[in-house]
Amino acid sequence: MIFRVFAREELKKLFDAMASKNKIVGPVEIARDHNGKPLFAFNEVNSFNDIKLDYTTTKLSAKKYFLPYKEDLAAFRMDENDWQKKVDYNISEPFIFFGLHACDINALNKLDKVLMGSVYPMPYYAAKRKNMFIVGIDCTPQPYCFCRSMGADTALHGFDMFITDIGEKYFVEILSDTAFNFLKNIRTAEPIEADHIHYMKVASEKNKKFTAHVDTTDLTKILDMEFQSDVWKQWGEKCLACGSCSKACPTCYCYGVEETVDINLRGAKKTKKLYSCNLIDFAEVAGGHNFRPERHVRLKYRYYHKHRGFVEAYEESLCVGCGRCGEACLANITVPEVIASVRGEEN
């Protein structure tokens, strides 16, 4: 790994060098909540001043850029008795994520495993993933963040460069050649011992700020043992089955496919829409049978997929501990509380 440091004012120059010829997506403030606190989102940005690099967590993850909520998988052109299928992966140019937190980079790394693994890799995702350049940025743990428990508080790969604010300077980790070349646009220096010390200080300060935790010890086994536990029913009674949790989550990728005929009857579309396993008809089949008719069974399934199924398949959880689902939930269902209750711990 290559490290560099650069002065604070250089960051804007780096942004400008990148923005001169590329599309940039970054965290921006979109509104204020009723307490006057800013609400953040990932949007396309044109100016460095629009980016809020000290943002907390965006309400929704960045997934509209790699797993759009609605995406056409194919279009058909219909003639008399025949049709032609045209497949489009819905991306035409590369883009830069400027300012992703470690949890969101880890979320991409996890999605890569299922969506770009060896069995039926998904080109719609792969095309976007292969065309994103990622600038990571360090963050301050919020009360709902438990990424440290999930091992997602630092990103080891899956980005091009990662910037940490160490006071007077920025400390940057460089993972790709492209990133290295971009940095030639600004003045950087080899870090000196004092920079290392500042970096380590920032890292240890950050660690002290975590307040939310999830105990993942033996969690897969515990989830199996407590599969019939009544705590699921209690959570199920609270759950509104609205699916907001999945919508906010950076790693929820489940979907449904629908086909529609164009109004002029000369074409048709096959459309993928992200779905949530908490919605009532997720596992309903033709004829009306529903394999998961109750809310608690669907809620349990969501936890089961994230914290057990994925671990079984990839030796890691599908949850990065960003806390977005808990923040989005109108019923105040949060991962740390649900897992603690399944473990029989009082909160």
Ligand X SMILES: Cc1cc2nc3c(=O)[nH]c(=O)nc-3n(C[C@H](O)[C@H](O)[C@H](O)COP(=O)(O)OP(=O)(O)OC[C@H]3O[C@@H](n4cnc5c(N)ncnc54)[C@H](O)[C@@H]3O)c2cc1C
Residues near ligand X, by CB under 6 A: 285-286
- Smallest distance, Å, CB 275 to ligand X? 11
Please tell me the distance from the alpha carbon of residue 332 to that of residue 337, in angstroms, as a whole number.
Answer: 9
Per rule CB under 8 A, is residue 204 in the interface with other proteins?
no
Please tell me the distance from the alpha carbon of residue 321 to that of residue 235, in angstroms, as a whole number.
Answer: 19
Please tell me the distance from the alpha carbon of residue 162 to that of residue 143, in angstroms, as a whole number.
Answer: 23
Binding segment (CB under 8 A) for other proteins, from list 34-42, 52-60, 75-83, 136-144: 75-83
Residues that bind ligand SF4 (CB under 6 A): 239-245, 248-251, 278, 299, 306, 319-325, 328-331, 333, 335
Q: Would you list the DSSP string of 181-245?
A: HHGGGS--BPPPHHHHHHHHHHHHHHHHT-------TTHHHHHHHTTT-HHHHHHHHH-----HH
Strand partners, 205: none
Q: Which of residues 284-343 bind other proteins (CB under 8 A)?
A: 284-287, 291-292, 297, 301, 304-305, 308-310, 312-313
Please tell me the distance from the alpha carbon of residue 143 to that of residue 153, in angstroms, as a whole number.
Answer: 14
Q: Which does 126 bind (CB under 5 to 8 A by kind): ligand X, ligand SF4, other proteins, none?
A: other proteins
Binding segment (CB under 8 A) for other proteins, from list 112-120, 136-144, 192-200, 231-239: 112-120
Per rule CB under 8 A, is residue 17 in the interface with other proteins?
yes
Q: Which of residues 128-187 bind other proteins (CB under 8 A)?
A: 130-131, 133, 178, 181-182, 184-185
Binding segment (CB under 8 A) for other proteins, from list 16-24, 30-38, 205-213, 236-244: 16-24
Strand partners, 309: none
Q: Which does 310 bind (CB under 5 to 8 A by kind): other proteins, ligand X, ligand SF4, none?
A: other proteins
Judged by DSSP in three states, 6 sits in strand
Q: Which does 130 bind (CB under 5 to 8 A by kind): ligand SF4, ligand X, other proteins, none?
A: other proteins
Binding segment (CB under 8 A) for other proteins, from list 1-9, 122-130, 198-206, 330-338: 122-130
Secondary structure E strands in the chain: 2-7, 23-32, 38-45, 70-78, 83-87, 95-100, 132-137, 161-165, 169-174, 255-261, 267-274
Judged by DSSP in three states, 142 sits in coil
Strands across the sheet with 255-261, in order?
A: 83-87, 70-78, 267-274, 255-261
Please tell me the distance from the alpha carbon of residue 156 to that of residue 275, in angstroms, as a whole number.
Answer: 30
- Smallest distance, Å, CB 325 to other proteins? 16
- Smallest distance, Å, CB 313 to other proteins? 7
Binding segment (CB under 8 A) for other proteins, from list 56-64, 230-238, 280-288, 334-342: 280-288
- Smallest distance, Å, CB 247 to ligand X? 21
Size of the site for other proteins (CB under 8 A): 73
